[in-house]
Amino acid sequence: MEWSDDGIVLSARKHGESAAIAILLTREHGRYAGLVHGGSSRRMRGMLEPGNQVRVTWRARLDEHLGSFASPFDLVSNISAGLLDDPLRLTALQAICAVAEAALPERERHAAVYAGMLDLLAALDGQAWAGRYVRWELALLADLGFGLDLSACAATGSNDNLTYVSPKSGRAVSASAGEPYRDRLLALPGFLLKAAQHDPGVGEVAAGLALTGYFLDRHVLAPHGKTLPLARGRLADRLRR
């Protein structure tokens, strides 16, 4: 079994004396793990930093085996190196990779998530990346089959003054319809609405992270005995501060 593909490094951990097990999100093959011989060397550690874009070849005797990534990799982009002096953006990078690793099923193609992740990583150089991060998590939920319906009020069918989201249905609720139940509803920040044209403030981003985090935990992670990654929690804390 052998294939070559473009990928984004999600994580790598030492294995034995000199090898490493790397987990990548690839364009055509989804989330894949593989042994990297010499992966613990100084040179390869730099290649295996989360967020780096690489070109890899995976080989295994049988498809169900762990397999290995041939080294050295072809490094396409070393995004982590440019963020070392920016703790907030570096935390965001770690959160993106950790959420993708935790949420995506193994060896299942998710081309839209991969493309969105590339765009989000590129956006870390700009100023509006925090809102795009929340939108990426929304798109991730949709790609996994748990998309939120933020187009109209679940109770009235109106698309005016949408302020809340039902934690049960994942549908938007207007301010008037949701007022009696506001303590049981999730806040819907305005920048996530289809007609929104503005970049969100800190409060809106925090509300957006709370919203997507709730549904990621409930529908994607908890059924498999997982929780939101620590890196994702650190990002939310840093943005709130």
Residue 53's SS3 state is: strand
User: Within 29-128, where are the H helices?
Assistant: 42-47, 87-103, 111-123
> Residue 239 above 80 pLDDT?
yes
**pLDDT greater than 90 at residue 160:** no
Q: Where in the chain is the domain with CATH 2.40.50.140?
A: 2-78
Tell me the pLDDT tens digit for each residue of 57-112.
999 988 888 999 987 788 898 888 888 889 999 999 999 999 999 999 999 999 99
Give CATH for domain 2-78: 2.40.50.140
Residues 22-26, mean pLDDT to the nearest whole number = 97
For residue 108, give both structure tokens.
Answer: 């299942």
Please state, for a pLDDT cut of 90, what percent of the chain lies above it: 75
Whether residue 195 is predicted with pLDDT greater than 90 in this model: the reply is no
Question: Structure tokens of 192?
Answer: 């996530």
**Burial level of 190, CB count in 10 A (0-12/13-18/19+)?**
middle
Q: Look at residue 106 in the predicted model and tell me its pLDDT.
A: 96
Q: What is the pLDDT of residues 40-51, one digit of tens each?
A: 888 888 889 999
pTM: predicted TM-score of the whole model, two decimal places: 0.93
H or E segment at 54?
strand 53-59
Q: How many CB atoms lie within 10 A of CB 5?
A: 16
CA 238 to chain centre: 17
Predicted confidence at residue 85, as pLDDT, reads: 86
CA separation, residue 127 to residues 47, 78, 111, 137, 149 (Å): 26, 20, 26, 18, 27
Please say whether the beta carbons of 138 and 210 come within 8 A. Answer: no
Q: Across the chain, what does the average pLDDT equal?
A: 93
User: Which residue has better confidence, 82 or 141?
Assistant: 141
24, pLDDT greater than 90: yes
Residue 8 in this model has a pLDDT that exceeds 90: yes
